[in-house]
Chain A
Amino acid sequence: MSSPVYRFFEWLDARLEPVRERAPRVPVPEPVRQRWQQGGRLWRRLGPLRYLVAAGLMALIPPLMERGWFPILNGTYGQTVLFNTGYWILLTLGLGVVVGLAGLLDLGYVAFFLLGSYTTALMTHSGAPGQFHFVEWPTWAALPFALIVAMVAGVAIGLPTLRLRGDYLAIVTLGFHEIMLEVMNNLGITNGPRGIPAIPTPSISIGSFHYDFGLNPAPYWWFLLIPAIILAVIMVQRLDGSRVGRYWTAIREDEVAASAMGVPIVKMKVLAFVIGASTSGIAGWIYATNVTFIDPTSFPLLLSVLVLCSVVIGGLGSIGGAVLGAILVQAVPEAVRQLSGGNTLFGFDPLTGRIAIFGAVLIIVMIYRPGGLLAARRRRTEMVTPGPESGVVVDDASATEQEVAPADDVHSAGGRST
């Protein structure tokens, strides 16, 4: 296992180690939770200020882009890519809660995004002549509804399905996404496959200041995304560092034990779904108002898979990972598209082949970094450490069954008949 790629990651790890701050082997009373905390010491010392700093840094991107600081992505094109990356970060953060923190494999996450978008569209668009017309509220008024509908959908899909585990849950969520697509394709009010056009864009009026977000992906769309992303990050961080996050971790690591320690399993799983859905509701609102036209083909199943790819490639359970994953899935392929410019490498055109490159990168990352590039420390440990050797049972269906079924009490014959 000392291929160049592996050595590269080792090298990268060693470089990043001081930044991540290794927990001391000899325990001291205080830094207990710090072991898993993210970001360097300096970053944490900033306290709540760090969010302002982050927002400031993010706000710098569009002006710098205007000046051509980003060699490949610039101009209107760059702004569009930036916007796409932005809402994608929201999606990745949300799914990161479900997959990275609670450990539930959700393959239909984009269904919540779809619901947020459609809710926004239905509540705001003025409707073409003869077309179904719901209400015509200001775009901002639709925001809480997009959020609530997505979250309620999280409960609706979560309550019946979250008794399932692993593969079964994945299939059910996949089905949920497909069902949503079919519903949107066939409902009258959603205008079926023809989609909903003319979704108004939001505008801001404060005193004499007035700005109308237009079709043109001007930098201000990004400024709309910054507070959403920062709030989502704060939400994920705070939940992770609380009783809720501990319960999610406990469920992920050993559901039976968690249940025996008083963790309300189904409730906490539904909560993970709801929290995850919340960011996609917001993302759906921003997306719908930005593109102004949505139809079912805007939300293909592939999108769910791609969000999951972002989460996994970026790093399970970490915020930096979510951001990195979003950039890798949204921005990097676009950059490659620009780079290629008709140049081919041994007859291989990066423009058409970028998805293949992406697939190859995904495979390489999964082999050498199963937890993702910037996985949370705990997640990385979980992925790398083989369970049985340590004498501790790791998230393994057969072991789970063994303890719950009367393994001790019933002689092997027929013991699993429950």
Chain B
Amino acid sequence: MTALLEVEDVTMEFGGLRALSEVTFAIDKGEIFGLIGPNGAGKTTLFNSITGVYPPTRGRIVFAGRPITGLRPDRIVQLGICRTFQQIRLFPFMTALENVMVGVDARHRTSVPGALLHLPRFKREEAEGEARALELLHYVGIGRFANELAANLSYGDQRRLEIARALGTGPSLLLLDEPAAGMNPAEKNALRDLIRKIRDSGITVLLIEHDMRVVMGLSDRVAVLDHGVLIAEGRPESVQRDPKVIQAYLGTGAAGDGEAATGEAG
């Protein structure tokens, strides 16, 4: 196994507030890596640092052997990292298919001349993009809503659409920010299958999730953040039993049962 993403000593400060402090971990190619932690632990901040929304105050992020710290978000997408959002951020008045096509467009190069003159590449890319987008919609299971406005989809389907859109950019590392939030149990099961399917297709997944059943059932390895500090990392079973993790979630004095963390943490 080779490391696909290496996060080295990443520190993120907002004014005097330290959201991440010297976080270091590595994600191997082809695994599902879970990132958990109580609310406010720094999970989404870490996502934002990796995807270039804001560069970390200190530290290095290396993706596929290439440092990506401080690159623009669109460059990072080009290199093969794409994300979904904790609060759904679709293009609400584009159809589902158009949403995914925006993602697929990241792989395309048509610009003004091609579009104005309808050059062969424009035609090819439009046709390809549409076909690929439709394929991805079917892949995540919402193909029948291709022409529906994103805003009209149900909550669970919007989450799936976000995943399809991110997959459209052709990532080798997919960052999912609480994909199961707000889903009912049936939708969660389907989502688990989908994430496995994505991993099996060769895409590495970094998963933030509060639903322990989802994250523990899926992840090959899990890292736990608490107040910006990485307090544990390892296989799900061992992390679940880690006293520091139990303490972070339940506070001191809680019975170190191990089962405590398997419930639906909120």
Contacts and interface: CB of A to CB of B under 8 A. Distances in A.
B221 interface: no
A21 interface: no
B48 A406 contact: yes
Interface string B138-179: 000000111111111001001000000110110000000000
B87 A32 contact: no
A336 interface: no
Contact of B42 (A238, A387, A406): A406
B137 to A, nearest CB: 10
Given A242-B114, A415-B14, A404 B48 contact: yes
B112 A259 contact: no
Nearest to B90: A392
A349 B91 CA distance: 48
Nearest to A394: B92
A390 interface: yes
Interface residues of A, number: 61
B130 A249 contact: no
Given A271-B112, A406-B45, A393 B94 contact: no
Contacts of B252: none
A381 B149 contact: yes
Nearest to B86: A408
Interface stretch (A22-30, A76-84, A126-134, A190-198): A22-30
B82 A260 contact: yes
A212 interface: no
Contact of A409 (B44, B92, B98, B103): B44
Contacts of B158: 391-392
A415 B73 CA distance: 22
Interface string A65-80: 0000000000000000
A390 B151 contact: yes
Contact of B147 (A31, A238, A407): A31
Contact of B115 (A239, A385, A393, A402): A239
Contact of B77 (A29, A249, A260, A399): A260
A385 B54 CA distance: 32
Interface stretch (A104-112, A177-185, A261-269): A261-269
Contacts of B15: 414, 417-418
B105 to A, nearest CB: 5
A409 B91 contact: no
A238 B152 contact: no
Interface stretch (A157-165, A250-258, A357-365): A250-258
A271 B116 CA distance: 14
Contacts of B98: 32-33, 246, 249
B223 to A, nearest CB: 15
A262 B82 contact: yes
Interface centre among A27, A238, A404, A415 (most CB of B within 10 A): A27
B74 A263 contact: yes
Contact of A393 (B72, B77, B89): B89
B11 interface: no
Nearest to B83: A260
Interface stretch (B118-126, B189-197, B243-251): B118-126
A101 to B, nearest CB: 12
Interface centre among A234, A257, A408, A417 (most CB of B within 10 A): A408
A31 B94 CA distance: 14
A247 interface: yes
Contact of A381 (B74, B85, B93, B148): B93
Interface string A374-403: 000010011001010011111000010011
Given A242-B122, A385-B93, A250 B102 contact: yes
A407 B122 CA distance: 40
A241 B127 CA distance: 12
Interface string A207-242: 000000000000000000000000000110011011
A385 B153 CA distance: 14
Nearest to B73: A259
B181 to A, nearest CB: 11
B106 interface: yes
Contacts of A399: 87
Nearest to B37: A409
Contacts of B16: 414, 417
Contact of A244 (B94, B97, B101, B112): B112
A259 B112 CA distance: 19
Given A243-B115, A247-B105, A260-B85, A391 B155 contact: yes
Contacts of A29: 134, 146
6 contacts: A23-B147, A246-B98, A261-B169, A262-B169, A406-B48, A409-B44
Given A253-B93, A393-B92, A403-B86, 14 more contacts: A27-B145, A242-B126, A244-B111, A246-B105, A260-B73, A262-B106, A265-B74, A378-B93, A378-B94, A382-B92, A406-B19, A409-B228, A410-B40, A415-B17
Give me the 8 closest cross-chain CB pairs, A-B, nearest first. A262-B106, A262-B77, A242-B115, A27-B147, A417-B15, A257-B89, A392-B92, A408-B44
